[in-house]
Amino acid sequence: MNYDFRFTNKITFGNGFGFLRIGYRSSIISFLSIFFFLFSFSSFSQVTSSIDSTKIKIGEQITYKIEVETSPSKLVVFPEGQTFMPLEMIDSYPVDTIKNKDKYNLIKKYGLTQFDSGAYTIPRQKIIVGDKTFFTDSLKVEVNNIAIDTTKQGLYDIKPIIEVKEIGSDWWKYLLYTLLALAIVGGLLYWFIWRKKPLTEAEQIALLPPYDRAKLALKKLDEANYLENEAIKDYYSELTFIIRKYLDEKVYDKALESTTDELINRLNLLKEGNQIDLSKEDIINLERILKRADLVKFAKSAPDIELAKFDRNTIDIEIDHVKEALPEPTEEEKLLDAKYKEELERRNKRKKIWLTVGICVFLLLATLTGFSIKYGFGYVKDTILGHDTKELLEGDWVTSDYGFPPITISTPKVLKRLETPLSDELKGKMKLTTFGLDKSKKFTLFVSNTTLAQAQDSIDINKGIEGSLKTLESKGARNILSHNEKFVTPNGAEGVKTTGTMQYPIEGTQNFVDGKYILLSFVANNQVIQQILMAWPQNDNYSDDMAERILNSVELKKAEE
């Protein structure tokens, strides 16, 4: 630290404890001694560290304590995160504050442990007090194995690995929603198409035989009060329609559209041909009433009400006579009628089936169209037909630590340790630990820690990158293009991100696929190279999203200063 002192004939220096006046001719050495003494006294800060035990058993916790004595106005920043490696921090306690006159004692405690036996050194810890930086002393800890008394408890073989069932995803929710939608659609189809609906009054009348229908129509004519309202024209129109309708259904199928003369001539011809056993008097009665109705409708004739009632009773009698005159249907006619009814039922059922199929197809196409508009046709197709990387992307992701120092990363599945053999030349010089994504056909993911046998003054990360690219070439990749750029993890660790394209062979064939890759490289403690490699085919949006998600999850211990 450099100080610039400028003296005048008289200097006054105050530190809260009084004033010291020093003449220009006083000894400069005496002045500087007093000045630095007062300066150090007024800005005094003291940092100490300690542990409650230097020997622990595997997994046992020790308490690491940092004490800072300083003035209240100064900001103190304690270490955070896994800065105690190779020991693991399992707890960080709140800061205790003790006031001592015009000073404060700040005490910060950490819970540390280690699960491997051996002698370890807790590295120096960085504490910032105001605008100054302090470092604690490194401390040694011995981690001992737990002694087992085999005379009291026998030794047993290691238990086999138990396969744990994977926690189910939310597939049952989608199944429930699908079943609910199908139930609603099925219910609507049943209610409006397949349900036997209660017949309306008009439908019930339509199902009656022609004779019963004609009799019921006469009864309703009496209830209509046409005669009381002197609506003679409406009365005769309804009355003649009833007899014409009955004759149309049972005798002559053009009775409704024929004139009175044409209908009477037809009845006479049927009588002469012995096709209907109707008397001459019945035909004359029908002719008289029909012609009177024509006069009422077209010539505005107005017979009295009693005559209208008489004509109504005559029609009632003639309906009975026509029924009696009709021949009984033959067995063949009855059979044809039954077949006609069966065919009618089949047509009805066929119509319902086609209507149901049409509605279901329409709803299916409408649903697919709606989802395609919202999510894209490719996404809908992959959802229905299935897609490897889409299933990985939308599955239950796992966040875990791999290697030492640990790399924290989120992946679609838990990475499995892979056996990576080293050449004879490299054996003894380094240790390689690799974890990979298992059973992935299209997306490749590796996490590796390369630990050198001896720490280096500096490690050239570019050589590590070159070595990884050469490994890709040895596996059959070709036309590898690369670009390096700085990469910073979410927790602030700096490394190199290598991106590019390549062509790699399809397993079991001579064909190559265009692909992308991302390689993350970090240096830890001048002894460890940490790398993450991802590779996937081009034009796979799910893999692009998966790689981005993995990149955003990477965290590792910052290199110590």
- Do residues 112 and 88 touch, judged by C-beta distance below 8 A? yes
- Do residues 238 and 226 touch, judged by C-beta distance below 8 A? yes
Helix segments in 95-200, DSSP class H = 171-189
Q: How much is the pLDDT for 541? A: 83
Q: How much is the pLDDT for 82? A: 75
Q: Smallest Cα–Cα separation from 47: which of 73, 66, 30, 22?
A: 66
Residues 419 and 539 in one domain: yes
User: What's the domain range around 103?
Assistant: 47-144
In this structure, how many other beta carbons lie within 10 angstroms of the beta carbon of residue 487? 19
Residues 414 and 304 in one domain: no
Residues 51 and 38 in one domain: no
- Do residues 557 and 528 touch, judged by C-beta distance below 8 A? no
Q: Does residue 5 lie within any of the structural domains? A: no
> Domain ends where: 297, 325, 353?
325
- Do residues 278 and 267 touch, judged by C-beta distance below 8 A? yes
- Do residues 138 and 83 touch, judged by C-beta distance below 8 A? no
Residues 429 and 544 in one domain: yes
Residue 118's contacts (CB-CB under 8 Å, 6 or more residues apart) are 142, 143
Q: What letter represents residue 447's amino acid?
A: V
Residues 424 and 535 in one domain: yes
Residues 471 and 449 in one domain: yes
Residues 406 and 548 in one domain: yes
Residue pointed to by tokens 């630590």:
401
DSSP summary character for residue 557 = P
Q: How much is the pLDDT for 328? A: 73
- CA–CA gap between residue 397 and residue 392 (Å, rounded): 8
CA 445 to chain centre: 23
Give the count of domains, the chain: 4
- Do residues 457 and 526 touch, judged by C-beta distance below 8 A? yes
- CA–CA gap between residue 123 and residue 85 (Å, rounded): 7
- CA–CA gap between residue 388 and residue 398 (Å, rounded): 18
What's the predicted TM-score (pTM) here?
0.45
Q: What is the CATH number of the domain that holds 547?
A: 3.40.1000.10
End-to-end CA distance of the chain: 20
Residues 438 and 402 in one domain: yes
Tokens of 232: 């003679």
Helices 305-325 and 280-298, packing angle to 10 deg:
140
Residues 396 and 464 in one domain: yes
Residues 286 and 410 in one domain: no
Residues 410 and 509 in one domain: yes
Residue 366, H or E segment? helix 331-375
Q: In the chain, which stretches have pLDDT less than 70?
A: 1-45, 147-159, 161-171, 199, 203, 329-330, 333-334, 336-337, 375, 377-387, 427-428, 438-441, 455, 508, 557-561
> Domain ends where: 144, 161, 181?
144
- CA–CA gap between residue 242 and residue 218 (Å, rounded): 7
Q: Does residue 401 lie within any of the structural domains? A: yes
Residue 192 burial (10 A CB sphere; 0-12, 13-18, 19+): exposed
For the chain, how long is the longest CA-to-CA vector?
164
3-state secondary structure 180-236: HHHHHHHHHHHHHHHCCCCCCHHHHHHCCCHHHHHHHHHHHHHHCCCCCCCCHHHHH
Q: What letter represents residue 487's amino acid?
A: F
Q: How much is the pLDDT for 378? A: 67
- CA–CA gap between residue 503 and residue 494 (Å, rounded): 29
Three-state DSSP at 312 gives: helix
Residues 88 and 18 in one domain: no
- CA–CA gap between residue 321 and residue 381 (Å, rounded): 72
> Domain ends where: 278, 293, 325?
325
Dihedral angle of Cα 344, 348, 353, 357, to the nearest 10 degrees: 130
Q: How much is the pLDDT for 290? A: 92
- CA–CA gap between residue 39 and residue 106 (Å, rounded): 22
Q: Does residue 196 lie within any of the structural domains? A: no
Q: What is the CATH number of the domain that holds 279?
A: 1.20.120
